[in-house]
A and B are shown apart, each in its own frame.
Chain A
Amino acid sequence: MELGLSRFGDLKLNICFGGNMADSDQVQFGRDDRYSRHRFAFSGTAKEYFGIWIVNVLLTIITLGIYSAWAKVRRNRYLYGNTALADGRFDYHARPIQILIGQIIVIGFLILYNIILSLLPALGLILVLVFIVAFPWLIARGLRFNARVTSYRNVRFDFIGQYWGAAKAFFLGPLVAGITLGICAPIASRWMLRYTLGNLRYGGRAIKTEPTLGDLYGVWWLPALLTFGGWLLTIVIILPVLVAQITLLSESPGAVAGPLGNLTTIVLMYFLLFVVGSVVLSLYSAGVRNVGYSATTFDGRHYLLSDMPRWQFVWVVISNLIVTIATLGLMRPWATIRMARFQAAHTEMGFDGEVGEILSTIKDTGSAVGAEFMDIEGIAVAF
């Protein structure tokens, strides 16, 4: 169980999910009347999405996984296409074949790697090194792909992040956060936000993200305290219980109930750690999203804002997970829609002026559109 505070998977999802296009530092620009403020709106329904989801799952199984590329496009087109801001909507333009090629490459590499690792462990290690060196590049390409296949009002996003930025955000960041036992997690989060959000472009206009460390530490201390409390609880209460149980077992070897009791404790502990870990991570990731989005500006004039109540977010995450498991996954579509609604409802764009006027001056730069066809989505599969 990782209790580290440096897991950014969810953050990445939000980014591709289109919540992040935006503008302006709310603190800097205030909320005065010259801004036309628009909330994101998500209009998908669980009823409609269930059909899309179950057909995706079924066809993916029947086609031995090949359909998963088509499934991904249909899923994302549904989710993006139901996300609206002002009078415009988002859209997802990836072609299934691009995703399929990416999947084949990733799976091929994994198979090759496993074979080589079994046959010639030394060469396998070299392959790991090659992969580590290539990893930031793959991340940058994957983020660029995701940005370029995303559009809002017929204009594409682009991503201009490079190799070293990815290395800093995805390698150095988790390393620094891990070595300092999470104390430096806000520094890592800052790198991550600046890289993934700050390198986005929309119609050639810059998106800038400058979260302050003060704000990030502001959302850090509560999950940090909870983590600390969780470990203290583990050491003070759970460990003695476990030790007692083990002692009990060794005194009565062969007791039939013994192994069962032992097993129950382990499973319970594991479950407890999982729940505490999920709460802490969700709490922190919600805080980072709020800080990061709210420190983001578009074209230097328009602001983005995220005001998710953190405990409500935790509640949505945990209850979604419980409902999904309890229904053998069948309520997963409901959970997805619920989360999308929640996030959209707590994300806002403030336009400096009238939105139609501002947006109608923006044009696709062309570079994003043309280059997309050279891209494949490799790394996103491996995340």
Chain B
Amino acid sequence: MHSDPQPIAGIWYPEQSNRSVRASLVAKGANLAVLAEDGALLTSGFISNTIVTDRIGNVLRRLTLANGSVFETPDNDAVDALVVVAKGGRAGWIHHAERFHPRLIIFAILAILFIIGIYRFALPALVELAVAVTPPVVPELMAKGALQTLDATTFDTTTLSTDEQSKLREGFERLTARSGLEAGKFGLEFRQGGLIGPNAFALPDGTVVITDELVKFADGDTELLLGVLAHEVGHVELEHSLRQLYRSVGAAGLIMVIGGDIGSGTEDILVQGGGLLALSYSRAQETDADRHSVRLMLKAGYDPEAIGRFFTLLESKLHDDSGTSILATHPGTPERRRAVHEYAQKLQSSN
């Protein structure tokens, strides 16, 4: 049996009051009594309906009695003993874990390993999982919404001749027939680009949009345009837009979750760094799509380096010869041209 513990010294506040009274807490079995310094009884109650705050460091413990009055004490060990006797079991395992001890070094290492592990393995795995379980209706709706918005804001109906259109459509069908997905999934749309100028992009449902400006830019080189379209087919096949979306949501969530404990300045830096990492991910996707273009063009019996001609054209016409920058969504054009050339050489020599 336990002997009744010593009185615990502290301060007592009547309910909702600021008037503090020096007092001591005496526990007798399941009963609690708060006594003034002169021994007068201030209040009493039962341990069972008294709310005791968790132990955190050396912070004062607060015991709120059923009548709303509060007893406050710095004597954490005594309160722990009281809680153990009254409620059984060990008090505050979290506080125990938090105490300064060599084990904290292990915690720190674990935390760092977990964070790296989540970013390197768990996040990509979650992205794959999310992509796998996303019903096809989602990319379809995404694509529809995006195209409607672009049509309403910057696009105009195409001014290309039916001859130009059918030439590209024919080649596009030859490419999609050899893609990893069924050809019916893809569609080709012509638009006047407006603000976005010479460009081609893939929507997640398989629709590929090419602007009049890009067709004019190619100056009659249909094969070059097919190289670009094969690149866009690559984006669709590799489900890049969904991956990009899930990845950015996941990374933001990760920062948000641990954010509160790392401080606002550090959080800023992480968010900025996360943006840079997202860009590096986008550059990796572009490289993948370039390689996909080379493979697909080769399969369809076209010049596998057609997209390389597009890069040459960019360099000569637009003087786009910048190096790869960590602040860009795409790798530098000369670098892409070289990579495409090397990959095409490798593929052809291995055949």
Contacts and interface: CB of A to CB of B under 8 A. Distances in A.
Interface stretch (A25-33, A157-165, A175-183, A317-325): A317-325
A362 B98 CA distance: 36
A268 to B, nearest CB: 12
B296 to A, nearest CB: 27
B336 to A, nearest CB: 13
Interface in A264-280: 266-267, 278
Contacts of B62: 91
B138 interface: yes
Given A154-B13, A359-B18, A53 B261 contact: yes
A212 interface: no
Given A54-B111, A259-B323, A325-B269, A118 B245 contact: yes
A51 B55 CA distance: 13
Interface string A120-154: 11100000000000000000000000000000011
B332 A259 contact: yes
B111 A49 contact: no
Interface in B300-330: 319, 321-327
A13 B264 CA distance: 10
Nearest to A156: B16
A317 B265 contact: yes
Chief secondary structure at chain A's binding surface: helix
Interface string A246-267: 0001100110001100110011
B56 A324 contact: no
B84 interface: no
A245 to B, nearest CB: 10
B99 interface: yes
A119 interface: yes
B319 A50 contact: no
B111 A78 contact: no
A59 B110 CA distance: 11
B261 A75 contact: yes
Interface string A16-48: 000000000000000000000000000110011
A40 to B, nearest CB: 16
A360 B11 CA distance: 13
Nearest to B137: A119
A58 B114 contact: yes
B258 A362 contact: no
B159 interface: no
Nearest to B142: A118
A320 B265 contact: yes
Contact of A363 (B18, B104, B148, B265): B18
Contacts of A119: 138, 141-142, 145
Nearest to A261: B323
Most chain B CB atoms below 10 A, which of A82, A118, A262: A118
A71 B332 CA distance: 44
Interface residue tally of chain A, by bracket?
A: 35 or more
B108 A330 contact: yes
Contacts of A259: 323-325, 332
Contact of B146 (A121, A321, A381): A121
A9 B104 CA distance: 31
Interface stretch (A60-68, A191-199, A224-232): A60-68
Contact of B98 (A55, A64, A332): A55
A66 B99 CA distance: 22
Contacts of B5: none
B78 interface: no
Contacts of B111: 54, 57-58, 61
A88 B20 contact: yes
Most chain A CB atoms below 10 A, which of B20, B57, B112: B57
Contact of A61 (B17, B101, B115, B325): B115
Given A121-B149, A249-B322, A55 B97 contact: yes
Contacts of A266: 325-327
A301 interface: no
Contacts of B97: 51, 55
Given A48-B100, A61-B114, A249 B323 contact: yes
Interface in B45-84: 53-54, 56-60, 62, 70, 72
A204 B74 CA distance: 28
Contacts of A242: none
Interface in A294-324: 317, 320-321, 324
In the A-B complex, list the 4 residue pairs whose CB atoms are closest, starting with the nearest: A259-B323, A81-B59, A364-B16, A51-B98
Given A119-B141, A153-B18, 5 more contacts: A44-B57, A47-B100, A55-B98, A262-B323, A359-B19
Interface of B: 13, 16-20, 53-54, 56-60, 62, 70, 72, 94, 97-101, 104, 107-108, 110-112, 114-115, 118, 138, 141-142, 145-146, 148-149, 245, 249, 253, 256-258, 260-266, 269, 319, 321-327, 332, 334
25 contacts: A48-B100, A51-B98, A52-B57, A60-B258, A61-B118, A72-B260, A75-B261, A77-B59, A78-B57, A81-B60, A88-B20, A118-B142, A119-B142, A122-B148, A155-B17, A249-B323, A253-B334, A254-B334, A258-B323, A259-B332, A266-B325, A356-B20, A359-B18, A360-B19, A381-B256
